Every structure is written in structure tokens, then in C-alpha cells.
């Protein structure tokens, strides 16, 4: 679920444009022949880039999910998903 925080960032036009550029660049790293499923439909990377540029519903969802991912990555939360929760070996090794 998208937080109000992600939605608020996208209301600021300057920030939204920066997020759009970032998401389009991240999508560019995906192989062009890859098909991506969103719901029950399949889209190409170019389709997703177009949705982000158009700022339609799917494009906004992509931007919101990328903001959430980047926040969790910056906070270290995303790395905890990969660690061994029993002894936290991964996190200790990286310190």
C-alpha cells in the first residue's frame, strides 16, 4: 500500500518531474524484450516508460513504488529482508 508520503511528493511538480526521470532511467536498465505483468495485462518497458511520462494511473503507481523502494533501501530496511533473521549474519558482515 502506498503511503500518503509518496503521494505528497508526487503532488509537487518539480519533485514529480525528478521522480519521473529517475523511474524512466531505472526502466531503461531493463532488457527491452522483457514483458512485465501488471494485474492481468502484459506491458513492454517502452509502455511503462510512456505511462510514467503521461503520469497516468500505472505510471503514478510505478513512481510511488520506486519512492517506497528507495526509502526502504536508504533506511536499511530492504537489506533486512535478505538477512538471516536468526543471527543477523548478513548485517553483521556488512558493518
pLDDT tens string 9-54: 788 899 999 999 999 999 999 998 999 887 899 999 999 999 999 9
What are 49's three cell numbers? 516508460
Residue 7 covered by a domain: yes
Band (77; pLDDT cuts 50, 70, 90)? confident
Query: What nine digits make up the cell of 60?
Result: 503514478
Structural domain includes residue 71: no
Task: Specify the pTM.
Answer: 0.72
17 located within any domain: yes
**Does 6 map to a domain?**
yes
* 43 found inside a domain: no
14 in a domain, yes or no?
A: yes
Q: Which residues pair with 16 in a beta bridge?
A: none
CA–CA separation, 34 vs 29, rounded Å?
A: 11
Structural domain count, the chain: 1
Q: What is the residue range of 8's domain?
A: 1-28
Residue from 45, 46, 26 nearest 36 by CA: 45
The position carrying cell 529482508 is 81
In this structure, are residues 65 and 21 in contact, taking their beta carbons and an 8 Å threshold? no
Q: How far is CA 71 from the centre of its chain?
A: 10
DSSP-based three-state secondary structure for 43: strand
Residue 80 located in a structural domain? no
Amino acid at each position: 500500500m502506498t503511503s500518503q508520503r509518496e503521494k505528497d511528493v508526487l503532488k509537487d511538480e518539480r519533485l514529480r518531474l525528478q521522480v519521473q526521470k529517475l523511474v524512466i532511467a531505472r526502466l531503461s536498465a531493463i532488457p527491452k524484450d522483457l514483458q512485465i505483468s501488471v494485474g492481468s495485462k502484459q506491458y513492454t518497458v517502452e509502455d511503462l516508460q510512456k505511462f510514467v511520462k503521461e503520469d497516468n494511473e500505472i505510471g503514478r503507481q510505478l513512481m510511488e513504488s520506486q519512492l517506497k523502494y528507495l526509502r526502504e533501501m536508504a533506511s536499511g530496511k530492504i537489506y533486512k529482508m535478505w538477512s538471516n533473521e536468526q543471527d543477523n549474519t548478513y548485517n553483521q558482515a556488512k558493518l
